[in-house]
């Protein structure tokens, strides 16, 4: 019985640790971000790992990227523009950007 409780505790801890990352992946999927981006490879837009690397250490990265998510942009990653995302609230944009910047 004790082994089962220990195993269940370890499983619950693992789920608790992985849930925030999964929740933001789910948000990115729900907001159609994954139609153009992937975590670890370029699709239409850059991978999230590439974005995180490019903006690492920049104090204004969050605000730059929140604006880009909301209003769109062009020229940073090539000729294909990123469209504005009216379906994404400011709060959701901040969650998405925090998640993107945490990718390693």
Residue 22: pLDDT band by 50, 70, 90 thresholds?
low
Please give the CATH number for the structural domain made up of 2-101.
1.10.760.10
**Cα–chain-centroid distance for residue 28?**
6
* pTM (two decimals): 0.78
What is the SS3 assignment for 73? strand
Exposed (0-12), middle (13-18) or buried (19+): which is 48, by Cβ within 10 Å? Answer: buried
The domain ranges of the chain are 2-101
- Rounded Cα distance, 38 and 52, in Å: 12
Residue-wise pLDDT tens digits, 27-36? 999 999 999 9
- Rounded Cα distance, 97 and 15, in Å: 22
> How many Cβ atoms sit within 10 Å of the Cβ of residue 68?
18
- Answer whether 21's CB lies under 8 Å from 98's CB: no
Q: What is the pLDDT of residue 11?
A: 44
Residue-wise pLDDT tens digits, 52-99? 999 999 999 999 999 999 999 999 999 999 999 999 999 999 999 999
């Amino acid at each position: 019985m004790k082994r089962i409780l220990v195993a269940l505790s370890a499983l619950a801890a693992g789920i608790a640790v992985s849930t925030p990352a999964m929740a933001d992946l789910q948000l990115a999927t729900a907001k159609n971000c994954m139609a153009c981006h992937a975590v670890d490879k370029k699709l239409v837009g850059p991978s999230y790992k590439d974005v995180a690397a490019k903006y690492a250490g920049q104090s204004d990265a969050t605000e730059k990227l929140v604006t880009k998510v909301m209003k769109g942009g062009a020229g940073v990653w090539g000729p294909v523009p990123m469209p504005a995302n009216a379906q994404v609230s400011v709060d959701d944009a901040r969650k998405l950007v925090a998640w993107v910047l945490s990718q390693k």
